[in-house]
Amino acid sequence: MKTWKPKVKAPDPALILHCTQILRKYGITTVCEESACPNRTECYSADTATFMILGDTCTRACRFCNVKTGRGMPPDVTEAERIANAAEALGLTYVVITSVDRDDLPDYGAGHFVQVVRTLKERLPHVKVELLTPDFRADTRSLETVVSCGADKLAHNEETVRRLSPHIRPQSDYERSLKVLRYYAKYFEGKVKSSLMVGLGEREEELIETIQDLYEAGVRELTLGQYLQPTQRHAPVLRYYVPEWFERIRQKALAIGFDAVASGALVRSSYHAAKLS
């Protein structure tokens, strides 16, 4: 396979500045900004953004993620209202809410997700809300809390294939993630989504097996993107895939039965979140 690296489009500076000023005003953290996501302009233009709640410190240390590790601060009781203010000022129609892992909290942060969703729905009833959640240690009470919170879509990322999961996500678990997704699919009335990264050393047959596992767990929307190494401390990229390969895998996933699949080098968990709905 020929060597190929994805090229990132330059963001619209005026749009990025406008959105950044609003986010700063309300003290909001977005995954879009923190990760310098290459799709920021595209998503902002489509009135979509991904907010990260519960702080910027994760209790886990995955080898693909650049979020700092440690014990986070207590949940901010003003955060839900500030997110609603920012969403209104930005004119958003679709909001994705995600978070770091908070294994230090009694409910793993599930109650805070609920507070954010309900505040958004009360203030902006026209806005659709997607939750990209951690695994909450597969705690049934936490999962039940999230399922009943009024979100329009639930997502949890499997990230990589079974063989690589212990190395790439040492404090998470492949089967635990499937358990969370099964719970969502069984008890949640809306669509359930998951995401995978490639380029970490997976074999194609393993990837297809994982995609099949996700479908059998009840996942009906899938995103698939190229892993890019954040720093030299993180897992290296072992392979870059060409656009034709991503399209071929997309077609295979659709053939398995998924309702919607976004597959490409720069595709991320929340890529075209509103369009996949």
DSSP 193: E
Could you give the 3-state DSSP secondary structure of residue 98? strand
Structural fold of domain 13-276 = TIM Barrel (3.20.20)
Positions in the chain short of pLDDT 50 = 1-2, 34-35
Q: Is 257 left (phi over 0), alpha (psi -120 to 50) or beta?
A: left
DSSP 1-27: -----PPPPPP-HHHHHHHHHHHHHTT
Number of neighbouring beta carbons within 10 Å of residue 258:
18
Domain positions in the chain are: 13-276
Burial of 179 (0-12, 13-18, 19+ CB in 10 A): middle
- The residue length of the chain stands at 277
Res 1: pLDDT: 43
* Confidence (pLDDT) at 66: 73
Residue 94 forms beta bridges with which residues?
Answer: 48, 128
Residues 6+ apart with CB under 8 A from 17: none
